[in-house]
Amino acid sequence: MAQKIGFIGMGLMGVPMAGHLVDAGHEVRVWNRSPGKTDSLVARGAIEASSPADAAANSEITITIVSDSQDVHEVVAGPNGAGEGATEGSIIIDMSTISPSTSKALAAELKQKNVSFLDAPVTGGVAGAEAGTLAILVGGEAEAFDRALPVLEIMGGNVTHVGPSGAGHTAKLANQMLVAGCMVGISEALVFAKKAGLDLDKWFSAVENGAGASWHLSNMAPKVIDGDFSAGYMVKHHQKDLRLILETAGENASAAPMVGLVAQLYRSVQAYGGEEFGHQALAMAIEKLSDVEARR
């Protein structure tokens, strides 16, 4: 059944995600801080909202996907935010990658207004958003999850309720630790192979399906070899994720030495202007340390 849905955040991920909801026949009210980002969706049948509160007004579900914890707090709990416009019994779903402590605080605040909050970050990148195949990691009350599931399944091919409020964002940060580990391993291996004189195409073909296989090896190593550092997920966004991991690890006394190292390597990429490169640009830091480019 068609529902009224608010959607806040028209970035690389938000536009295709909201587009799937429009195409599925839902009434979608869209809002973005920067003007013009909603135009393509309005042309497809979405309604442009004047504020986050307007996007949430009369919506059964309101979705946010913005940059960082403070941005989510602003569009949900700030003046004229979604929490202000949300009606009793509705659901606000944050699909950004933010601090679990922020999502827990927002859930507690909205509960006082009889508005449910789900933290439901995604993984799968722009390609997954465009294809509607994102993995979605959801924290919050089971009843709200069950009500939101049909909408979430339009945007994702693997939707999992992982626990109470904050569990979704915690699960996403753990996923980003895996991403960081994969990317630094791939970068070091490519540079090592190149420096040793191996043909990178032959090396990649030999190891792609071996014990070191991963989604990142299959998808990111060829980009590095081609010198393609275009963004599916920007360095600055992954760096933000690593910061959140280290903050959360500090809160729960969890060791994360690899994450700290990768954050410093990304810092060097940012220092020479690469913060809007794709996160495979981590390889550039290892290349500079080794005085070689891992290209064919």
- The answer to whether the 4-164 and 170-290 domains have the same CATH topology is no
pLDDT value of position 24? 98
**At residue 277, what is the residue type?**
F
Share of the chain above pLDDT 90, in %: 98
Tokens of 28: 């979608």
SS3 (DSSP) at 43: helix
CATH T-level fold of 4-164: Rossmann fold (3.40.50)
**pLDDT of 1 over the 90 cut:** no
Helix (H, G, I), strand (E, B) or coil at 30: strand
* Residue 247: HSE in the Cβ half-sphere, 13 Å Cα cutoff: 15
Homologous superfamily of 170-290: N-(1-d-carboxylethyl)-l-norvaline Dehydrogenase; domain 2 (1.10.1040.10)
Out of 4, 104, 172, 194, the active site residue is 172
d(CA 104, CA 275) in angstroms, rounded, equals: 29
Residue type (1 letter), 120: A
Burial class (CB in 10 A: 0-12, 13-18, 19+), 74: middle
Interval 238-270: pLDDT, tens: 999 999 999 999 999 999 999 999 999 999 999
Question: pLDDT, tens digit, for every residue of 62-112?
Answer: 999 999 999 999 999 999 999 999 999 999 999 999 999 999 999 999 999
Q: CB–CB of 229/223 below 8 Å?
A: yes
pTM (global) more than 0.85: yes
The residues spanned by each domain of the chain are 4-164, 170-290
Q: Which residue has the tokens 């990429």?
A: 269
Instruction: Inform me whether the pLDDT recorded for 35 exceeds 90.
Output: no
Annotated active-site residue 172? The verdict is yes
Say if CB 46 and CB 29 are below 8 A apart.
yes
